[in-house]
Structure 1
Amino acid sequence: MNGFKNFILRGNLIDLAVAVIIGSAFGAVVTTFTNWLTALLPDTASKYFENTANSFGAFLNAVISFVLLAAIVYFFVVLPYTKAKEKYFPAEAPGTPADIALLEEIRDLLAAQATAAGGSTRPGTPPGGTSSV
């Protein structure tokens, strides 16, 4: 059961599900917008223009449905998932990355060598001990 919990809370599955849901809702918005826009263009195939039904209401309905669906997905899927992920997988304590720690150690060793050789330990000082600044 622990492995299944890790699989679900890993993140990829929930992100993919949210993307599919939001993508399909946005696809409906694009489709109804395109249908509405093309319905406004006159039909030049015939010499008579017929009165076409305005489908702006369908477009408005698709936009409202998209916003409602996005809010529902956020409040009932994304928000609880984020809280569960923080509970079961707490964020690592911010620390110094390994490469930065290694560079700091090298800096300290070089400063110790410069002090032992009688040079200056001031940053930016060339090996000769005099600064051109």
Structure 2
Amino acid sequence: MLKGFKDFLMRGNVVDLAVAVVIGTAFTAIVTAFSNGLIKPLINAIGGSDAAKGLGFNVLSGNDSTFLDFGGVINAAINFLIIAAIVYFVFVLPVQKIQDRRKRGKEAGPAEPTDVELLTEIRDLLREQQRKS
């Protein structure tokens, strides 16, 4: 029972699903807090004198709802890269190495005889039996 469970966990699609769940939940909050607290203020500092808005501009001056926030887009891209790197190096790469080791441990057994070889062997055994009779 435990071997079956282990095989189930080591299948590629289960690992991919687990990686997707991790990307969507666990690391998002941590990385978002990091980038909002440290990276976005640095990006907004480049934005100019209006530090409250950050890196971007208003399409219609005086209308804050038309503000194009380039700093937020850059921040989201940095979030994605950090999350993807963490998931790859912490989860995907180690699982691939484990699967490669498991594959290396399995040696190829002797080759199965072909149908022609089996039929030839049966024919020869039948001839031998007929000669003895």
Counting helix residues as a fraction of each chain, which structure ranks higher? 2
The structure that is strand-richer by fraction is 2
TM-score, scaled relative to structure 2:
0.45
